[in-house]
Amino acid sequence: MLKVAGLFTEYPNERGQIVRAAQDVSFEVPEGKLFTLLGPSGCGKTTTLRSIAGLERPRAGEISVGDRVVYSSARNVFVAPNRRGFGMVFQSYAIWPHMNVFQNAAFPLEVGDRRYSAQEIRDKVLRVLRAVQLDELADREATKLSGGQQQRLALARALVMEPQLLLLDEPLSNLDAKLRERMRFELKRLQRELRITTVYVTHDQSEALALSHSIAVMNEGHIQQIGTPREIYERPRSQFVADFVGTTNFLDGTVMGRGAEPGHFRVRTEFGEVEVRSDDDLRGNDSVVLSVRPEDVELAEARPQGDNVWEARVDQKVFLGEFLDFQVRLGGRILLARSHPSLRTPIGDAIYVKLHPEKCVALKAA
């Protein structure tokens, strides 16, 4: 549905240098799906979104929605933002101060090309206000809303048109943790229900994992990897992605040869030989970095069956209620392991560590 191809957007800075904000950005979003741009501050997420909206003019590339090209450097096409008809909520959202909540949300319906009856407007507006939990405040003046409420109103206003494409830039950033989580579910439900094709921008990895059909992880203007939340989390293709999305243990190693199964390799580390998995075609003597998630470091007081098992020692423990974080010493390394709080091994005691080859991802060292 949305197709972005070879997009380059750049800015001049104060010293006349070029800021390469979006570099060769390409992705596609199928009809009705929610696609997230995820990455650290300054990586080019907002720039990419504003380029799709038409608020920035890229240097090169092509953007199309369905079979309508809205930007093409090669064909010299640039459709003005207000003619693109996308719904938007930006990082700095704007609500209209001289209107109440209901009027703000109804405004796009009243000024749009299509005519709606008063009853239709009422139904549509109340539906979106209910979704963002502002229906009780429909008569409140917009200026008398809290920051988080204003943000939700901006979201309602973008949703009310049921636009072909919805562009959201950190739309939940001003909400407290509890409300943000609730809104996350609401937004997901609403997006799925209305099947609005959405590009969502966030630097919050748990938000991205929770909401998205597909995620693009960005760094320094470039897309590093595109995949489903599970692919991004379980099969990172680079150290940057493994590190940015979730918590992980990195272990240096050297490839010794192929493992027992296709895609498996044997890797020498400072505490011994580990059977691992890799999507790269690794060769003997390649330097690699293993990424192992703390919840995949299996701990047991009795020696588990099978290979990839070592004896370690409990160094630290942190009780977090629903789980217990262990730091265990293995050779000269400290590994972070997340386990069920029922495991009570005291600090200083021996404990066995088991690593499942499928959960040890070998990445080519940078």
Ligand X SMILES: Nc1ncnc2c1ncn2[C@@H]1O[C@H](COP(=O)(O)OP(=O)(O)OP(=O)(O)O)[C@@H](O)[C@H]1O
What does the binding site for Mg ion look like in residue numbers (CB under 5 A)?
46
- Between CA 208 and CA 214 the distance in angstroms is 9
User: With binding defined as CB under 6 A, does residue 11 bind ligand X?
Assistant: yes
Stretch that binds ligand X, among 44-52, 79-87, 264-272, 276-284 (CB under 6 A): 44-52
The backbone torsions φ and ψ at residue 55, rounded to the nearest 5 degrees and listed phi first, read -85, -15
Count of residues of this chain found to bind ligand X when the rule CB under 6 A is applied: 13
Shortest distance, position 199 Cβ to ligand X, whole Å = 13
- Between CA 307 and CA 142 the distance in angstroms is 63
**Cβ distance to ligand X smaller for residue 32 or 42:** 42
276 three-class SS: strand
- Give the footprint of ligand X on residues 278-307 (CB under 6 A): none
Provide DSSP, 120-152: HHHHHHHHHHHHTT-GGGTTSBGGGS-HHHHHH
Give the neighbor-by-neighbor strand order of the sheet with 18-29. 18-29, 2-12, 60-65, 68-72, 77-78
Look at residue 41 and give the partner it binds from Mg ion, ligand X, none, a contact being a CB closer than 5 to 8 Å depending on partner kind. Answer: ligand X
User: With binding defined as CB under 6 A, does residue 237 bind ligand X?
Assistant: no
- Between CA 343 and CA 339 the distance in angstroms is 7
Look at residue 42 and give the partner it binds from Mg ion, ligand X, none, a contact being a CB closer than 5 to 8 Å depending on partner kind. Answer: ligand X
User: With binding defined as CB under 6 A, does residue 43 bind ligand X?
Assistant: yes
Q: Which listed residue (36, 47, 100, 248) binds ligand X by CB under 6 A?
A: 47
Tokens 């921008």 identify what position? 201
Look at residue 293 and give the partner it binds from ligand X, Mg ion, none, a contact being a CB closer than 5 to 8 Å depending on partner kind. Answer: none
Stretch that binds ligand X, among 45-53, 118-126, 186-194, 321-329 (CB under 6 A): 45-53
Shortest distance, position 48 Cβ to ligand X, whole Å = 7
Q: Which listed residue (7, 29, 44, 187) binds ligand X by CB under 6 A?
A: 44
- Alpha helices by DSSP H, listed for 85-195, are 101-111, 118-131, 147-159, 177-194
Stretch that binds ligand X, among 37-45, 266-274, 292-300, 322-330 (CB under 6 A): 37-45
Shortest distance, position 186 Cβ to ligand X, whole Å = 23
User: With binding defined as CB under 6 A, does residue 46 bind ligand X?
Assistant: yes
Find the farthest-apart pair of alpha carbons in the chain and give their distance in angstroms, rounded.
73
Look at residue 148 and give the partner it binds from Mg ion, ligand X, none, a contact being a CB closer than 5 to 8 Å depending on partner kind. Answer: none
Shortest distance, position 153 Cβ to Mg ion, whole Å = 20
33, 110, 252 from 268: Cα distances, Å: 42, 67, 9
Stretch that binds ligand X, among 11-19, 24-32, 181-189, 349-357 (CB under 6 A): 11-19
Whole-angstrom distance between the N-terminal and C-terminal Cα of the chain? 35
Look at residue 44 and give the partner it binds from Mg ion, ligand X, none, a contact being a CB closer than 5 to 8 Å depending on partner kind. Answer: ligand X
**Residue 129: which of 107, 97, 98 has the closest Cα?**
107
153, 161, 288 from 88: Cα distances, Å: 12, 11, 42
Shortest distance, position 64 Cβ to Mg ion, whole Å = 23
Site of interaction with ligand X (CB under 6 A):
11, 13, 19, 21, 39, 41-47, 203
